[in-house]
Chain A
Amino acid sequence: DTGVSQDPRHKITKRGQNVTFRCDPISEHNRLYWYRQTLGQGPEFLTYFQNEAQLEKSRLLSDRFSAERPKGSFSTLEIQRTEQGDSAMYLCASSLYRSYNSPLHFGNGTRLTVT
């Protein structure tokens, strides 16, 4: 399967702990996006990269969240000092952007539960 892969699929952590998620995009895709989805809601934009550059970060995103894409390939999303409100599905997506938009391809997500 050459789609977007995310690891881990599930993560349970205690409040106050740090967690890190990984996303491997489709290999030829230059853009990588992170979204958060809670039950019954649409995916909420968090941040995105073009190659290794982080081009935009949601204003709603707490300083406890940080994302990297150091070599323009895989990306990590870290949440520091987790809170119960961080419990959600974290979705990664990638696309091949040229001069126009192309579809986003999503991974299966990482489900975070903060106890």
Chain B
Amino acid sequence: GENVEQHPSTLSVQEGDSAVIKCTYSDSASNYFPWYKQELGKRPQLIIDIRSNVGEKKDQRIAVTLNKTAKHFSLHITETQPEDSAVYFCAASMNQGGKLIFGQGTELSVKP
């Protein structure tokens, strides 16, 4: 079955710097890759997603890139702000399955 590895497990940056979180997946049939942000004690919330027919997607300060050949995808946050501090999860799924397989999470800390 699908396996998703996420790195790093913790990331600390200064406010205004960029943050990059990387994930790799094992099943080449996976074609949908969302990213979720989870604040302490709250539900995971979708922040951006990408499908396998696209190499990059951007939404304001957040961007995701996908390399299907290498089977990895990354989240890029620019001009980080303290409110970006949270745990971020990547995930992957196949069209037929629909279920998401999550990475282990990255705890991002943005220091003012």
Q: Measuring CB to CB, which residues of chain A are less than 8 angstroms from any residue of chain B? A: 31, 33, 40-45, 48, 50, 55-56, 91, 95, 97, 99-101, 103-109
Contact = CB atoms under 8 A, between A and B. Distances in A.
Contacts of B101: 45
B45 interface: yes
Question: Which of B49, B97, B98: most chain A Cβ within 10 A?
Answer: B98
Interface string B80-112: 000000000101010101111111110000000
Contact of B97 (A40, A56, A107): A56
B49 A103 contact: yes
Give the size range of B's interface with the partner. Answer: 20 to 34
Interface of B: 4, 6, 31-32, 34, 36, 42-46, 49, 51, 89, 91, 93, 95, 97-105
Contacts of B36: 106
